[in-house]
Amino acid sequence: MVEGNVALRPVRPDDLPLLRRWQTDPRIMTGWGMPQPLRAHNAFEHQIVGEFTRFESAAVFIIEGDGEPVGRIDFSDFDPRHRSAELAIYIGEVDAQGKGYAGNAIKAISTYLILQRGVHRIELNVLEWNQRAHDLYLRLGFRDEGLLRDHMYFDGVWHSEYQMALLASDPVDWLPDGQPPEYVRQTAT
C-alpha cells in the first residue's frame, strides 16, 4: 500500500529489534497509554507468529516514510458482518514525527480497508490531551463520537479518550467514492 511519501508493508521477523525499541520508548508509548511499557523479551516473536500474520481479522504494518521505517500502523477487530475495523498508529522515530507520514499511512490503510475489504466504519481512540493527533484525525475526516471519561490510568492520573470514526460514506476528498467494488459488496453481506 502506497500513499504519497509512505509505503506500508507487513511486519517481518527482522523488524523485531525496531519494534522493541519503539515499543519500550516512553516518548512513543505514552500516546498509547503505556508510558512505562513492559515487554517480555520474546513478546514480539509470539505476535509475529500469531496475530501479526492473520490478515483475516487484524494486521500490523511497518510505515516506511521516504524509504525508511518510521512507525507502525495496524487494524484490528475486523468485523465482516458489521463491516468495521479499528486502527492504531504511532510514528516510532521521534525525528520523523510531523512530516506527514501518519496522515498518509492512515489514508493508505483506510483506502485498503474500504475498497478491498468492504469496511464501512473505521474506528480509533485518541487520548484527550494528544491534540496533535486529534487534529490530524479531524483533518482526515474522522469525527468525534464521544469522550470515554477517565478511560485509562497511568502515571498516577486518569486520562480520557476521544472515540472517533470515519465512515466510507463520509465526504472526504482523499477517499474514492467510498464504495468498494461490487464483488466486495457482495461478499461483505
pLDDT value for 20: 84
SS3 assignment, position 112: helix
Q: Pick the closest to residue 73 from 56, 90, 54 (CA basis).
A: 90
* pLDDT tens-place string over residues 11-63: 888 898 898 888 888 777 777 766 665 556 666 666 665 655 566 788 899 99
* pLDDT tens-place string over residues 104-148: 999 999 999 999 999 999 999 999 999 999 999 999 999 999 999
Confidence band for 6, pLDDT divided at 50, 70 and 90: very high
Phi, psi for 27 (deg, rounded to 5):
-65, -30
Tell me what the mean pLDDT of segment 161-167 comes to. Answer: 96
pLDDT value for 34: 64
Rounded CA separation 78/37 (Å):
25
Strands 121-127 and 84-91: parallel
